[in-house]
Amino acid sequence: MTKVGIVGTGFVGATTAYALTLRGSCSELVLVDKDTKRAQAEAEDVGHAAPVSHGLRINAGDAAALEGSQVVIITAGANQQPEETRLDLLGKNAAIFRELIPQVAQAAPGAVLLIASNPVDVLTQLVIQLAPEHAVLGSGTVLDSARLRYLIGQHAQVDPTHVHGYVLGEHGDSEVIAWSTVSVAGLPIDEFMEARRLPWTAAIRAEIEQGTRGAAASIIQGKRATYYGIAAALARITERILGNRQAVLTVSAPTPEFGGVCLSLPRIVDARGVVDTVMPDLTSEEHQALQRSAEVLQQAVAAL
């Protein structure tokens, strides 16, 4: 028996429930939202997918219904608007979290709390303070790294699952595309492109970097919200926790090397949450960029 709770049934929460159902990620799913009619409707709608995918039990309820959850995914909060940065959301969502998280912690003792609401790094740090008995991690740059791999795969003309590489630091404007970590089919990216006789220039890298960093803004401008990519990322993280997989994921967690601020690095994730961190061998330029990203987050945390 594996039970997952989702708190917040807007676009991200509902799509995450759908992704978990299609992937058969757990055996029981409960949806919680301040708008109880919305939560019930989403549970019913997603539940209709269960008989033709995986036979999950899907229900809606209040915070008390989270009891017994191994993982609780937090997607509640205000949405990012066009021209608004993730950090602009901080004040609104911090207020929501101060009321919400103690209720979740009381209802689901022992659950790993997976934070997806933005600004995810700062809110992850806040949840650690509000729920000190719980393992807490943020979705971090798992999605950003997927976006990077997708764009590289397109240019390299290969299945993006064969592309490996990390986006580090803030899930936001200061994130660091760590080109030194990127490989395709076991080859460093430049060697792979040379072997395929494909162009690989600074301009192409800049285009991919802009596509990665600006993906959310571009999607929000076109359709007002992003939810498919993050839902798949949340499902993947959840599965690795439930399966005690010791997966390497760029989730957000406290980082002593950068003043204790929550940011994304390759982390070992299992049923206990984040159990270790692996610092990549970065170039000096990448390390400086990561330090600047940490400073951006430190300033945001100070505002709390």
Catalytic residue check, 171: yes
Contact in structure between 123 and 232 (CB atoms under 8 Å): no
Kind of pairing between the strands at 163-168 and 71-74: unpaired
Contact in structure between 27 and 244 (CB atoms under 8 Å): no
Q: How many CB atoms lie within 10 A of CB 140?
A: 31
Instruction: Please give the Cα distance from 72 to 97 (Å, whole number).
Output: 14
Out of 134, 155, 164, 171, which one is annotated catalytic? 171
Instruction: Please give the Cα distance from 294 to 151 (Å, whole number).
Output: 25
Query: Which tokens is 159 given?
Result: 């299945």
Q: How many CB atoms lie within 10 A of CB 274?
A: 21
CA distances from 68 to 109, 112, 202 (A): 8, 11, 51
The residues with which 32 forms a beta bridge, in sequence order, are 7, 61
Contact in structure between 204 and 155 (CB atoms under 8 Å): yes
Torsions phi, psi of 227, nearest 5? -150, -30
Residues with a catalytic annotation lie at 171
